Chain A
Amino acid sequence: QQQVKQSPQSLIVQKGGISIINCAYENTAFDYFPWYQQFPGKGPALLIAIRPDVSEKKEGRFTISFNKSAKQFSLHIMDSQPGDSATYFCAASYGFNKFYFGSGTKLNVKP
């Protein structure tokens, strides 16, 4: 059973637009929800993360929105840039013992 479901699989956004990636989870014990950015041939890099006690976290152009009752969280990239083109993974963890990853979203920001 997939613990974290991510959509869309791919996303094309114009430069300056807003990129939105969604994730849903089942296990209510999850207490840490990070987003990772991965460029081809590289390992993922932590982008931003949120705990379930807050509904939103913003760092620069990146915002996580968290809906605990719906068991959903999303990543918003404001003013998307071509350099943001990468694969994004959401993840969920409880107790930091294991991290379960979504299937990934390939973002292409067109100039």
Chain B
Amino acid sequence: GAVVSQHPSWVICKSGTSVKIECRSLDFQATTMFWYRQFPKQSLMLMATSNEGSKATYEQGVEKDKFLINHASLTLSTLTVTSAHPEDSSFYICSARGKNEKLFFGSGTQLSVL
């Protein structure tokens, strides 16, 4: 099956620093990738849709200047949490639309901001 690799799996950072999360589709090209945020015991909340070669589309309420998304190639999208604060601590998950339009998820990144 299609594989989506997300890195790092967990990160701890100090308040005010920036953190970059990578999402790679390993065995297929993904023109569209999605970034989700998940709080403990809650559902996945779509943050933004990342399209290769164009600007990401952000969901209402998501700060585009805080959550920078870059989809530079057909296999890589990155999410940068800028000037992270404790309230940004969460589980971030990427997904990529693969063959037959199925959605494949990365393993997630647990971000803890101290």
Chain A residues at the B interface, C-beta cutoff of 8 Å: 32, 34, 36, 41-46, 49, 89, 93, 96-104, 106
Residues on the A chain within 8 Å of B13, using CB: none
The reply to whether A101 and B43 contact each other, CB–CB distance below 8 Å, is: yes
Kindly list chain B residues whose C-beta atoms are within 8 Å of the C-beta of A93. 103
Q: Is B50 in contact with chain A by the CB < 8 A criterion?
A: no
Q: How far is the CA of A100 from the CA of B103 in the complex (A)?
A: 12
Among A41, A46, A102, A106, which residue has its beta carbon within 8 angstroms of that of B103?
A46
Size bracket of the B interface: 20 to 34
Q: How far is the CA of A99 from the CA of B34 in the complex (A)?
A: 9
* Most chain B CB inside 10 Å of its own CB: which residue of A44, A49, A104: A44
**Given contacts A32-B101, A43-B6, A96-B97, is CB(A89)–CB(B107) below 8 Å?**
no
Pick the residue among B41, B46, B97, B107 that contacts A42 (CB under 8 A).
B107
- B106 in complex: contacting residue of A41, A43, A106, CB < 8 Å: A43
**Minimum C-beta distance from A13 to chain B (A):** 19
Chain A positions within 8 Å of B95 at CB level = 43, 99
Q: How far is the CB of A42 from chain B (nearest CB, A)?
A: 5
B104 at the binding interface (Cβ < 8 Å)? yes
Instruction: Please name all residues of chain B whose beta carbon is closer than 8 Å to the beta carbon of A32 when the two chains form the complex.
Output: 101
**Complex formed: what's the CA distance from A100 to B46 in Å?**
8
Expressed in whole angstroms, the Cα–Cα distance for A107 and B110 within the complex equals 22
